[in-house]
Structure 1
Amino acid sequence: MTELRLLGAVEVRAGQTRFDAGQPRQRAVLAGLGVDAGRPVSLPTLIDRVWGHEPPAGARQSLHAHITRLRRVLTGAGAGTIVFESGSYRLTLDAGRVDLHVFRDLAERARAAGHDDQRVALLRRAVALWRGTPLGGLGGEWVEQVRSEMDRHLISAVVALAQAELRLDRPEAALATAERLAGEHPLVEPLAAIRMRALAAAHRPADALHHYDDIRQRLAGELGVDPSRELQDLHRAILRGAGQRPVAVLSPASAAPAQLPTDVAGFAGRTAALARLDAVLAGAAAGASATIAVVSGTPGVGKTTLAVHWAHTAVRHFPDGQLYVNLRGYDESGPVAAAEALAGLLETLGVRAGDRPAGLDAQSALLRGVTAGRRLLVVLDNARDAGQVRPLLPAAPGTMVVVTSRDQLTDLVISHAAEPVDLGLLPDGEARELLRRRIGAARVDAEVHAVDRIIESCARLPLALAITAARAARTGFPLRSLAAELRRPGDPLETFELGDPSGRLRGVFATSYVAISASAQRLFRQLSRHPGPDLSAEAAAGLGALEVIAARRVLAELVRAGMLAEPHPGRYAFHDLLRAYAARLHRDSDAPAERDAVTVRMLDHYAYTAQRVDRLLQPLRPALDVPLGPPAAHVRPEPISGAAEATAWLDAESAVLVAVVHTAVAGHGRYAYQLAWLLDHCLHRRGQWLERSAVWRAALTAAEGTDDPVALAGSHCGVAHVSLQLGRYAEADAHFTRALELYVADGNRRGQGAVEYLLAGLWGRRHEYRRALAHAGRARSHHEHTGHRAGLANVLNQIGWYRAQLGEHAEALESCREALGLQQEMNERAGQADTWDSIGFVHHQLGRSAEAAECFGQAIALFRELGDRYAESESWIHLGDSHRDAGDPGAAHAAWTEAYDILDELGHPDAQTLVDRLGVRH
C-alpha cells in the first residue's frame, strides 16, 4: 500500500519501494499538504508553511515548479495527486495512508476505548508509527510548530499507554514505555510521574526516589522551579511506603460543580474549531500543566455557542467538575471585575469568604492551590482582555480552561502558551446545516436557491443566521419571502432588529465599537468606503490619512477587537454586515465632504501605486494618456522597488483594483479610465478576460459622461480589445472603428497606431491575413512617424506572424528578427518573449524541431520571469505541438501537461482544450 510518511523523514513509499520526493524545499511542500491530506490548503498558507512569513520574491513560481514535480512523484507511486481548486491546493491521498493522520486516529480511538486491553493495543500501534523526529530534515517556523505539537501528542500517547499498562498490572511494560521518551524529554513531569509509579509498582522504590531527586535537581537548575504538586505528593507517598503500587493522590472530597449553561439546540458545523479544542484536551489529558484555549472572533460569530457545546461533549474528561463564569466583557454595565469573578470561583470550590486572604494575588494563588490535583474544566466566557483572565487561571495538571473573547488575547497566547482558536464566518455547507437544524431539513431542501440567498445576506454570520432561522420558525413564511426581505434596498441590518434586544445585530456590534479607541472608530467608519474584498495596511493608511506605522497600530486594535479580520498576513477585511454597520456610522457621523475625501484618497492611493507598478513592469509603455492629477494630502504610493514586488502587488490587489474601478464610475470617472488603463496588462497577463471586460465597460460608462476624447477613445479601444479576446468580433470591430474615429478627429497618431495594431489582430483572428497585414502596415507607419519604438517592434513581430501564416517564411523570419533586435536594444522583455514565440512558430512550420524548441524555451523562460502565466501556457502548447509533429509524443505530453497545470491553476476555460490531447487527467 502506498503511504506518505511524516513521523520521521518525509518520504513516499509503496510497499518496500521509496520514491524520491526531492530536495528539502520540495519535501516541505509535500509536508505542508500532507498534514491536511484531503483538505484544501490555500496558496498563501502553503507559501507561509514552506518559506515563512517573509517569502522570497519568486516563491510563487518556485511553488508551481515543486507542485509539478511532486505530481509526477505521486502519480508514479500511485499516491493520488495534487489538485488546484478555488485558490487552494489539495493532496488527494486518503488521510488513512498518511502516518500522521493514522497516529491521530489510533490515539483518538484509544481514548474512546472501553477496556485497557483495547487501549494498549491501539496505542502500541500508534507509538510504533514514529520513526524519528517528525518532518525530519526540514526546518522553519511552521515545521517547528508542527514538530512541537506532534511531540506533545506522542508524550500524551506514551503516558496514556503506560498508565493503561499499569492498570493491567504490567509495571515492566509501563516502565519500558515511559523510558522510550525519558532521555529526549527529561523535564516533562507527566513522563517522570508515570516512570516513578512504574518503578514503585515494580518493587523498585529506591529507583523511583532517585528519579525524583534527579528531576527535582534538573528543574531547579534549568528552569528554576520546584516539581509539580503531583510529583511532590507521589514522592511523599513512596517515602511513606503507601503500598507497592501507588496511585495518584485523590482530590479533596467535595461535590463536583457542574455550572455549564444549557447546550444550544441545533448546533452545526465548526468541525475544525472543535478539532482544535479536542487537541488541547489531549494535552490536558496527558497531564500537562493547566491547558488554555482562547476562542476569539467577530461579534455574533458564535464563540459562546461553540465553547459551551464543546464543553458538554468533554465533561466525562473532567470528573472533578466544570466551572463557568460570564465575565461580561462587553456589557453596557461594564465587565465583571477579576476580584469578583475570583471570589465566585473560590466559593464554588468550597472556600468560605472568611477563609480567603486579602488581595487579588493571594486569592489567585489560593485558587491554584485549591484546584491542585483536580481535573477541572473552566469556561471563562466573554472576556474583555487578558488582565481580566490571568487571576482566574488554575495551574493544576489535567485542568483545562476555555476563554472566549472578541479580543484575540494575544498577551495570554504569549505568556501562557494558550492555544488560539479563531472563529471565522461559517462555510456555506455549515451555514446550510445550521438552518436545516433550526428550521427543518424539509423546508431548507425544498427551497435551495432561497437558502443560498439567505446565507449570502446573512454574510455567513451565525447570529444573523440564527435570527433569520428563528423568524422562519416563528412565522412559517416561505423562505423565498424571507430571502427577498433580507435583500431589499436599504440598511441590511434593519431586518435583524426584530425580537429579543439582546440578540439584535446592531446592538451586538455597538458594544464592540464603543470599546475601541477614537482613532480605531474613525478608521473603522472610513474603511466602509473601500469596495474590495480586503486591503493592505498601506491602503488603509492612505484612505485614513495616516502614517503607515500608525495605521498598522489601529488595524491591529480592530483585529484584536474582532471588528476586522486578518485573513492573510498584512491583509484586512470585514464581513458584509459589519461593513454595513460601519457605512451607517460613516453616514451618521461624518460630513459628506469628508466621505468624498476618503474616496478620493483611496483612488489616489491605488492609481499612483498602479502607475508605479506599470512603469516597473512595462518601462517602455507610453505614459498614461490621461495624466493623474496631484495626489490628495497624506497619500503616497506603496514603496515598490522592483519587478518582483510589482508583480506580487498586482497578484494581491487585482480583485481590489477591479472593485475600485467600479467605485470610481460614480462621480470620479477620470480615475475609472486611468485605473482601467493601468490594470489592463495585469488582467490580460492573468487571462482574466471577463474581469477585464467589466473594467473597460465601466471605464467607457465613465468616459461617456465626460468631454475627454482621449479617455473615450481609449475606453472604446479597451472594450474592443477584450471583445476580440473573447471572440466577439463584430462587437470588437464596432468599438475599434469608433476609437479610430475619435483618434483621427483628435489628430492622435499614436492612438491611431494602437488601434490599427489591434485591428490587425482582429482580422488575423478571422484568418484574413492579407487584411490583417494592411492594418499592421498602417500601424507601422504611425509608430515610425511618432517614434514609438516599442510599438514599432510589436507590429514588426505581428507582421512576421501573419507572414508565417501565409507561408512567407523568409519574410516572416526577417520581420521577427528585426523586431527582436529592437526589443533587445530596449531590453523590452515582454516583447522579446512574444517574438521568440513567433520565431519558434516559423521554425516549427519549416520542420526545424530543434530550433523551434530552443525558441519556445526562450519565450517560456521570459514569460515565467515576467509572471505572465497565460502567455507562458500558450508557449508550452506551441512547444508541445512542435514535439508532436516531430514524432516525440512523450515530450509533447510533458509540455501540454505544463500548459494544462497553469491554465487549471488560473481557472481558465482554455484548460479544457488540452484534455483531449492529454487523455484522462487528475
Structure 2
Amino acid sequence: MTARFGVLGEIEIRFDGVPVDAGHARQRSVLAALLFDANRVVSADTLVDRVWGEQPPHRARGTLSSYLTRLRQALPSDVSITRHSGGYLLTVDPAAVDLHRARTLLRDARAAGTDDLAEPLLREALGLWRGEPFAGLDTPWVNGVRDTLDKERLAAELDLTDIRMRRGEHASLLPELSARAAERPLDERVAGQYLLALYRCDRQADALDGYERLRRRLATELGADPCQALRTLHQRMLRADPALAPATRRIPMPRQLPAPPHSFIGRARELAALGELLEVSGALPIAAVNGAGGTGKTWLAVHWAHRHLDRFPDGQLYVNLRGFDPSGSAVPPSAAIRALLDALGVDPSAIPSGVDAQAALYRSVLADKRMLVLLDNARDAAQVLPLLPGGSRCTVVATSRNQLTGLVTTHGARDLTLGVLAEAESRELLTRQLGTARVDAEPLAVNAFVRYCAGLPLALSIVAARAGRHPGFPLAALAEELEDRATRLDALGSGDLNADIRAVFSWSWHALGADALAVFPLLGTFPASDITPFAVASLAGLPLSRVRGLLRELEAANLVQQHSPGRYRMHDLLRLYGSEQATAEDAQAALRRVTEFYLHTAHAADRLLDPHRPSIELGPLPPGREPQALPDRAAALRWFAEEYANLGAMHRLAVESGWDETVWLLSRKMEAYRWLRGHADDSLVACRDAVAATGRLGDRRAEGWALVMLGHALTRSGHLDEAIATLRKSLSVLETTGDTQGMANAHMATGDTLGLRGEHLPALRHTRLATRLFRELGDVVWGAAALTMAAKCCARLGRTDAARACSEYALPLLRKHDNQEGESAALLVLGDVAPTSGEAIGYYERALEVLSGLGYTFYLPDIHAKLGETHAAAGDIPRARASWQDALELYAAQYRTADVRRMQDRLQGS
C-alpha cells in the first residue's frame, strides 16, 4: 500500500490515492508537527509547543499520547511513529511527504546547471502546493512555518519566471507579473522582472515610469534607494542596451529517440551497414530495415542511433507509424507530418491545410538541418514517402515487417533484412538479463529457453523477465512450466514467427494474477498506441488505485512498457495477442466504457478552455466511474495535448462502431482545442462526421449545431463558398427547431465568413441579427461578442463612430465576464478606429497582452504590423521599425512568406 502525506495545503493522508481521515484539527496538528521533521526525533515538549502554543491543556502529554496512538492506527505498516528517549520519531520515505519532495526538487533545480534541466523540476515542485500550507491550523508555530514556506514558494516562482524570461516569454508573463508586482509593491526582485517584461514588450516608457514610482515609494516608506540590480537595469533601459532586447523563444532540440535497449546483442553486420549510411554524400541516406515481428528491428535502429548521436547535431525525430496495429489503424501521413512539425517547434497556427502543403513545410524546415528521422513500424513504402526530407543532410531509418521495395527502387534505400538471433547470441542475451551465475548453474533449462524462443529477441526478453521476477525459483521449474503447454508450443518449430511468439505470450499471460490476467486482453483492444491509468480504469471497469498496481504487474512481466511517466504501451504483437483473448462482448463493453471516459473528460476540459460557449450537457456516468479531474485551464490544455491522438482514435472508433451520438458530442467537445491549436484539417473531418452522425440520429437541433461547426471549420480552411452554403443550411435547420441560441451562433458565423469574403454589408446584417437574438436570450457575453463583430463590420464600411460606440459598449461587458478572446477583438476594433495614434497604440498593446496570455499566436504578428504603421503615422520611426521587426520574426516563425516579404519591404522603405 503506497502512502502519501500532504502539508502544502490541507493536512492529508492518502493510501493508493484514496484519502484517509487524519482526525480532528489537534490530531492533524500532531501529524503536521511530526511530518515537518520526518525521520528526526521531535521532543515531547516541542510537540506540545507546536500543537498548543502558549496555552497547553492541563494533561498535555497524556492528550498527546492518545493522539499519537490514533495516528499509529491510521498509518500503513511502512510508516511508523516510535517513542525514543525524550521524544517521538515518524519514519517515512521523504518522497512520500509533499513538503520534503518539493524541497528536494527545488534543491535539484538550483543545482541543475541548465534551464532545460531546471524548469521541469521547478514546475513539479510548484505543482505540489495545493493552497495555503497547513490549511485549517492556527498556532504560532504553524503561522511561522507557513510564512517560511510561502517565501520558499515565491522564490521558486521567481526562479521559474527568470527561466521563462530568458526564453522570450515576456509577453505571456506580463499579466502575471503585473498582478504580482501589485501584490508585493516593495519586492525589488519582483519589480525587476516586471519592469524588464514591460521594456521587452515595447513599453519602455511604462518601464521607466514604473522604476521612478518604485524609487519614490522605497524612499518614502523605507528611506532606501533601489538595490544595485534595479539601478543597473534602469541605466541599461535608459541607454537602450541591445542586450536587453527580447530573447527569441528557443525551441528545444527534438530528442525523440526511445531509450536504448539495455540488452542489445549481436547484429554486427547490420550495424556496419547502417554505419555506411553516414558516409553517403549527394543524396538522402535511407535505410529500410525489415523483418518479422519481434526480431528487434526497433532495438537495432535505436541502438545504432544512440551510438551516433554526434552525427545528428540538430536532433532526432521518431514516429511509430503503427503499420501493423491490431486495430488496423496505421498512422496516416497527415497525422505523422503534423506530429513531426510539432516536434520541430512549428507554431500550430503556421501549419497549412492539406497533407501536400504540410509535407512541403516539413521539407522546408528540415532543409538545412542534420537530423535523424526514425520512422518505425511502417506498413509499406507509401506510408514513408511523404515523410522523407527533401535535402541530403538528414538521415532516414525506416523499419517494417514488410520489405519497403518502393524505397529501395525509387530512392536508393539500403535494404536490410533482420532474422532471428543465433543460438550463441540468444544465450548471451539471457546471460545479460539473468546473470552468468544463474545461467551457468542450469544449462539444460537455458537450452530449453533458447530452443522454445527460437532466436526471437522479444520472446527471450519475456522469458528472462518471467525468470527475473522469481530469482529464488530454479530455472528448471520455469522451463518445465513452459513445456507443459506443449499443445500451444508445437508451433515454435514451424517457422511461423507469429505462431511462435503466441505460445510464449500465452505462457507469460497465464502466469499473471487473476485481475491482471483479465485486464491484459482488454488493453489489446484499445485502439490507440498508448494509454494512461485513468483510461485503463474505465476500460477495465476497476478503481484507479487497483489499476496502478495491475499496470506495475504487467510492466514487470514485460507485457506493457511505461515509455513516459504515466503512459503505457504494448508491443504490436502483444496487443494482437491480447485482443485475440478478449471476447467480443467484453471488448465491446470495455471500449464503450473508455470512450465514455474520454467524452466526459473532454467535456470537462472544454468547459475550462471556453466557459462562455453554449454547453451541451452529458448524462451522468455510472456510479464508481468518473472523468479525469482537471483543476484549471492549464491542466485542460495539457490533457488535450497529451491525449489528442487518443481522442482521435476514440472518434474513429465511434464512427466505425456506429455510435452516432458519441461522434457528434466528441466532435463538439474538441472544437475549442482544435481552434486554439490550429488543427484545421482534423476539425474539418470531425465536423463532417458529426453532420453525418446527427443526420442519422434524426436530431435536427444537433444537426443544426453540427452544421454551424462545419461552417466554422470550412471558413478556417479557406473554403468560404462551401462554408456560406453550409451555414445557410444550418440556419434553415435551426429555424425549424426554434433554437434561438443556435440561430444566433449561425448568424454570427455567417457574418464572420461573409466579412472574410469582403461582403461587409451582408456580414453586418447577420451580426446585427445575432446581437438581437443574444439580447433576447439574455446572453450578455455572446451578445457583447456579436456586437464586437458588428463593430468590425462597421469599421470596414467606414462607419467609425458606430464601430467605436459598439466596441466601447461591449468591452466592459466582456471584461466583467472574463471573456478575454472577445476583449482582444474589441480592443483591436477600437485601435483601428481610434482618433489619435497614441490611443490606437494603447489599444493594440493591450490586445497583444491579452492574446499572448491566451496562446493565440497566429494574430500576434498582425498586431505588431498594425503597431508599426501607427508608430510610423505618428512620426516615431524607431518604434515603427521595432514593431515591424517583431512582426517579421513572428511571420517567419509561422512560415507566412507573403507577409515576411511585406515586412521586409516595409523595413527597407522606412
Using the size of structure 1 for normalisation, the TM-score is 0.49
Q: Larger C-alpha radius of gyration, 1 or 2? A: 1
Using the size of structure 2 for normalisation, the TM-score is 0.50
